[in-house]
Amino acid sequence: MGFEKSEQFYKEAKDVILGGVNSPSRSFKGIGGGTPVFMKKAKGPYFWDEDDNKYIDYLAAYGPIITGHAHSHITKAIQAAAEDGVLYGTPTTHENKFATMLRDAIPSLERVRFVNSGTEAVMTTIRVARAYTGRDKIIKFAGCYHGHSDLVLVAAGSGPSTLGNPDSAGVPKSIAQEVITVPFNDVEAFREAINHWGTEVAGVLVEPIVGNFGIVEPEAGFLEAINEITHKAGALVIYDEVITAFRFGYGGAQNLLQVEPDLTALGKIIGGGLPIGAYGGKRDIMEQISPLGPAYQAGTMAGNPASIRAGIACLELLKEPNVYKTMDQLGEQLEAGIHKAAQAYNIPITINRLMGALTVYFDVEHVSNYEHAENSNGEMFAYFFKQMLKRGINLAPSKYEAWFLTTEHSEADIEKTIETVEAVFSNWDFA
Ligand code: PMP
């Protein structure tokens, strides 16, 4: 496979777009650099790049593309929206329909608001929690990503009683001081943080199933303990379900795990591939938001008919019988195939999988928190990634990301992927 055109386009891009990309991970920063592939067309589980190479795609645009690329049902919804006008700045009945669909699927969303990205959704849940409690501090979990707003770009301090440090230049220290970061799956560290800061904490922000240092499930009782300890302290539980909602079943991880938060942030899948975010929760809490309450949130593009109609179409597809069962079966087949190949060629991997999402970690035995994921071998992953790419398999360019299956991947695609993994492992030349 040649990449000459991608190389040329990347050169041109760097001359006009900062860093050549519009989101940093696309630059292959996470795998030590290289030339990102410029994709030209996508259909179902496949990509074609500018050099006319074909790929089986497991990036799924970092999660949203769960029904495969350019699904005709979603494409038709977007076409219809385009013909009827893509932006009104007035309410539409599409928003009523979609909000009702979301609430039917995730009953804790007694009231919903649409925004334009996961970042906005999370940012606003924090505002709601602060308005409702009259407190400022937030607790989050190490390694979880919640978008690029100031408040969540904060790294762990040196212990549960220590406040955070900015994780990005440009985030004021004073803002980082409002955030406490504790390890995922560690109830005692969380309890210690609440014991120390409890009366100042507005909300506890958590990915109920982690998607941002690979797929990491909560240990038994972890989320229940968070609910109990948080509520006892008078704070709110906020689930960031931007990745998880509609990924592991029709609804949220909260439905799957039977634990209910006060507020939920959504994004990705619910836009069917168009820009969207949403947040919602218990009615009395949501009533903090304008026009009913004193906390402000607005958006020119919020609830735009194109994103909403694409989202409705996407959820309609996910409601079909056996959709998740099939992705689970294919995920199981893929996991088993990768394991078998790794055993045959002595490649040290661990796989975390839930349904149609999995992460392959190198050189680490068990991953249940960020520290474990951090200790996985990034150079080995980078080597694996590049070998897979060269052979027509497109993964996310980071050791922390998941492989996402779609409803359009077939058994044949999985078999081809496993054969490719075998080819890479059997020619393993990682120094
Ligand atoms: N929360 C989570 C859990 C995410 O994974 C992401 C994006 N990867 C976000 C929030 C931010 O969403 P967006 O990129 O749409 O702003």
Tell me which of 59, 126, 152, 268 to substitute to probe ligand 1's pocket, judged by most ligand atoms within 8 Å of the beta carbon.
268
* C-alpha 118 to ligand 1 mean position (Å): 5
CATH 3.90.1150.10 fits 3-70+323-427, yes or no: yes
Those residues with Cβ within 8 angstroms of residue 134's Cβ, 6 or more apart along the chain or in another chain: 202
Does the annotation count 88 as an active-site position? no
Q: What is the average pLDDT across 125-151?
A: 96
Sign of CA dihedral 147, 148, 150, 155: positive
What pLDDT was estimated at residue 159? 76
Does the annotation count 240 as an active-site position? yes
* Ligand 1 binding pocket includes 247 (Cβ within 6 Å): no
Those residues with Cβ within 8 angstroms of residue 333's Cβ, 6 or more apart along the chain or in another chain: 411, 414, 418
Q: Which of 132, 145, 239, 370 is catalytic?
A: 145
Report the atom number in ligand 1 closest to the C-alpha of 122: 10
Report the atom number in ligand 1 closest to the C-alpha of 267: 15
Residues linked to residue 163 through DSSP beta bridges, in sequence order: 180
Does the annotation count 429 as an active-site position? no
* Ligand 1 binding pocket includes 145 (Cβ within 6 Å): yes
What pLDDT was estimated at residue 345? 97
Report the atom number in ligand 1 closest to the C-alpha of 241: 3
Tell me which of 243, 264, 274 to substitute to probe ligand 1's pocket, judged by most ligand atoms within 8 Å of the beta carbon.
243
* Ligand 1 binding pocket includes 215 (Cβ within 6 Å): no
* Ligand 1 binding pocket includes 207 (Cβ within 6 Å): yes
253 and 279 Cβ atoms separated by less than 8 Å? no
CA 282 to chain centre: 23
pLDDT in tens, 198-226: 899 999 999 999 999 999 999 999 999 99
Q: What amino acid is encoded at 168 in this protein?
A: S
Preceding peptide of 275 cis, ω within 30° = no
ipTM summary value: 0.99
Sign of CA dihedral 228, 232, 233, 237: positive
Residue nearest to atom 10 of ligand 1 (CA): 146
Three-class SS of the chain: CCCHHHHHHHHHHHHHCHHHCCCHHHHCHHHCCCCCCCEEEEEECEEEECCCCEEEECCHHHCCCCCCECCHHHHHHHHHHHHHCCCCCCCCHHHHHHHHHHHHHCCCCCEEEEECCHHHHHHHHHHHHHHHHCCCEEEEECCCCCCCCHHHCEECCCCCCCECEECCCCCCHHHHCCEEEECCCCHHHHHHHHHHHHHHEEEEEECCCECCCCCECCCCCHHHHHHHHHHHCCCEEEEECCCCCCCCCCCCHHHHHCCCCCEEEEEHHHHCCCCCEEEEECHHHHCCECCCCCECCCCCCCCCHHHHHHHHHHHHHHCCCCHHHHHHHHHHHHHHHHHHHHHHCCCCEEEEEECCEEEEEECCCCCCCHHHHHHCCHHHHHHHHHHHHHCCEECCCCCCCCEECCCCCCHHHHHHHHHHHHHHHHCCCCC
What pLDDT was estimated at residue 326? 98
Which one is the CATH code of 72-319: 1.10.10.370, 2.60.40.10, 3.40.640.10, 3.30.1950.10?
Answer: 3.40.640.10
* C-alpha 5 to ligand 1 mean position (Å): 30
What pLDDT was estimated at residue 165? 86
CA 413 to chain centre: 23
pLDDT in tens, 235-274: 999 999 999 999 999 999 999 999 999 999 999 999 999 9
Q: How many CB atoms lie within 10 A of CB 335?
A: 18
262 and 281 Cβ atoms separated by less than 8 Å? yes
What pLDDT was estimated at residue 164? 84
What pLDDT was estimated at residue 156? 77
pLDDT in tens, 280-318: 999 999 999 999 999 999 999 999 999 999 999 999 999
pLDDT in tens, 32-71: 999 999 999 999 999 999 999 999 999 999 999 999 999 9
267 and 280 Cβ atoms separated by less than 8 Å? no
Q: Which of 55, 268, 361, 399 is catalytic?
A: 268
* Ligand 1 binding pocket includes 212 (Cβ within 6 Å): yes
What pLDDT was estimated at residue 79? 98
Tell me which of 116, 125, 145 to substitute to probe ligand 1's pocket, judged by most ligand atoms within 8 Å of the beta carbon.
145
**Cα(299)–Cα(208) distance, rounded to whole angstroms?**
27
CA 427 to chain centre: 32
Q: Name the pLDDT band for 160 (thresholds 50, 70, 90).
A: confident
Q: What pTM does this model have?
A: 0.98
Residue nearest to atom 13 of ligand 1 (CA): 118
Q: Which of 49, 57, 186, 240 is catalytic?
A: 240
What pLDDT was estimated at residue 431? 81
* Ligand 1 binding pocket includes 240 (Cβ within 6 Å): yes
pLDDT in tens, 389-428: 999 999 999 999 999 999 999 999 999 999 999 999 999 9
What pLDDT was estimated at residue 155? 83
Residue nearest to atom 1 of ligand 1 (CA): 146
pLDDT in tens, 330-367: 999 999 999 999 999 999 999 999 999 999 999 999 99
* C-alpha 388 to ligand 1 mean position (Å): 26
CA 351 to chain centre: 18
Residue nearest to atom 12 of ligand 1 (CA): 118
Q: What average pLDDT does the chain have?
A: 97
* C-alpha 146 to ligand 1 mean position (Å): 5
**Cα(47)–Cα(55) distance, rounded to whole angstroms?**
5
Q: What is the average pLDDT across 376-384?
A: 97
72 and 78 Cβ atoms separated by less than 8 Å? no
* Ligand 1 binding pocket includes 370 (Cβ within 6 Å): no
Report the percent of the chain where pLDDT is more than 90. Answer: 96
- 343 is written with which tokens? 């055993």
Q: What is the average pLDDT across 108-126?
A: 98
Residues linked to residue 179 through DSSP beta bridges, in sequence order: 138
* Ligand 1 binding pocket includes 121 (Cβ within 6 Å): no
Q: List the domain boundaries for the chain.
A: 3-70+323-427, 72-319
Residues linked to residue 279 through DSSP beta bridges, in sequence order: 113, 265
